[in-house]
């Protein structure tokens, strides 16, 4: 016969919401979809009403914050970049197929895809390097991406391949993209609001690394640049991979010459070309050289050529 448990001074005074929801039995008369009898926090139709948008935004801020705190995530490096950049092997397969089909335009696009695929490998190597090297730091640094394919997948993959954890901040889109398979499941989040997602990119970041990309990448990059320029966030390293791409896409000097930005604003970011160059710059910025194995990519990181 089980002895009755003695009360403890720290026992709850009220049942938890989870306990209340679990034991709730709805009378049959009030079980229909038109009934308002449900507990408010279990009533999905109620929570999805327009008037509840502020509550949903608060939940979207709180959930990733609480989970990351639970798992001890305090410092991150954000990797931005195109979802359309394919791994080298897939890019080469597309080129081979285009050449077999004989479509000149498709061949030209596929050749460009092969050229751009180097950024997939560099993002993968950079994430592996960060993850491996930061194990020797007092405060480990975790890679965070937008959770999708392309450069985002490369970032999560690089961390995964050296046995590390990484974060994915996915978002619901009209053409739904599934989370890439390399994100740590406990740290794979889904957002509805772009604004809340971008806020979480910045809340724990010590640096932002931006690979070539399109509208979404530009949106995220200029959000960070604007917040840094205006002093709304603390200054942190912003690294742009591939100087040739960025300087052709954006004429920064023209912005300076026309007075649209100040001359010192071009100092808000740095161009880099390789994973090692990016990591070395971050080590110098934060004084990490003595604490990390920054001399090169770890032995079990993916090789430079994939």
Quick check: 7 pLDDT over 90? no
Q: pTM of this prediction?
A: 0.86
Rounded CA Rg of the chain: 24
Per-residue confidence (pLDDT) for residue 204, from 0 to 100: 95
- Residue 8 — pLDDT band, cuts 50, 70, 90? confident
Quick check: 297 pLDDT over 60? no
- Convert the pLDDT of each residue in 78-123 to its tens digit: 999 999 999 999 999 999 999 999 889 999 999 999 999 999 999 9
Per-residue confidence (pLDDT) for residue 25, from 0 to 100: 73
CB 239 within 8 A of CB 207: yes
> Residue 68 has which token pair?
């990351």
Give the lowest-confidence range in 58-72, 92-106, 171-185, 286-300.
286-300
Cα 113 from Cα 126, distance rounded (Å): 20
- Residue 306 — pLDDT band, cuts 50, 70, 90? very low
Distances (CA, A) of 55 to 19, 46, 49, 68, 243: 22, 11, 10, 20, 42
Q: What is the DSSP string of 97-128?
A: HHHHHT-HHHHHHHHHHHHHTHHHHHHHHHHH
- Residue 287 — pLDDT band, cuts 50, 70, 90? confident
- Convert the pLDDT of each residue in 159-217 to its tens digit: 999 999 999 999 998 876 789 999 999 999 999 999 999 999 999 999 999 999 999 99
């Amino acid at each position: 016969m089980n002895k009755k448990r003695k009360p403890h001074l720290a026992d709850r005074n009220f049942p938890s919401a989870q306990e209340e929801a679990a034991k709730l039995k709805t009378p049959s008369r009030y079980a229909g979809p038109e009934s308002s009898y449900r507990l408010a926090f279990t009533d999905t139709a109620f929570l999805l009403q327009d008037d509840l948008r502020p509550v949903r935004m608060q939940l979207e801020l709180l959930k990733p914050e609480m989970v990351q705190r639970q798992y001890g995530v305090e410092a991150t490096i954000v990797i931005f970049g195109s979802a359309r950049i394919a791994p080298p092997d897939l890019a080469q397969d597309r080129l081979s197929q285009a050449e077999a089909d004989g479509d000149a335009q498709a061949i030209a696009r596929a050749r460009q895809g092969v050229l751009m695929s180097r950024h997939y490998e560099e993002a993968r190597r950079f994430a592996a390097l960060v993850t491996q090297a930061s194990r020797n730091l007092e405060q480990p640094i975790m890679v965070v991406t937008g959770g999708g394919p392309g450069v985002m997948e490369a970032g999560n993959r690089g961390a995964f391949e050296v046995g590390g954890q990484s974060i994915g901040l996915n978002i619901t889109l009209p053409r739904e993209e599934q989370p890439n398979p390399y994100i740590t499941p406990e740290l794979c989040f889904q957002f509805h609001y772009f604004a809340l997602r971008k806020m979480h990119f910045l809340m724990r970041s010590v640096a932002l690394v931006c690979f070539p990309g399109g509208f979404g990448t530009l949106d995220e990059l200029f959000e960070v640049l604007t917040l840094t320029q205006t002093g709304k966030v603390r200054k942190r390293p912003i690294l742009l991979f591939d100087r040739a791409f960025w300087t052709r896409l954006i004429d920064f000097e023209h912005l300076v010459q026309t007075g649209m930005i100040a001359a010192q604003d071009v100092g808000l970011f740095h161009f880099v070309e390789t994973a090692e160059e990016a990591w070395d710059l971050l080590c110098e910025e934060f004084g990490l050289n003595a604490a990390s194995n920054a001399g090169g990519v770890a032995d079990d990181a993916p090789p430079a050529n994939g």
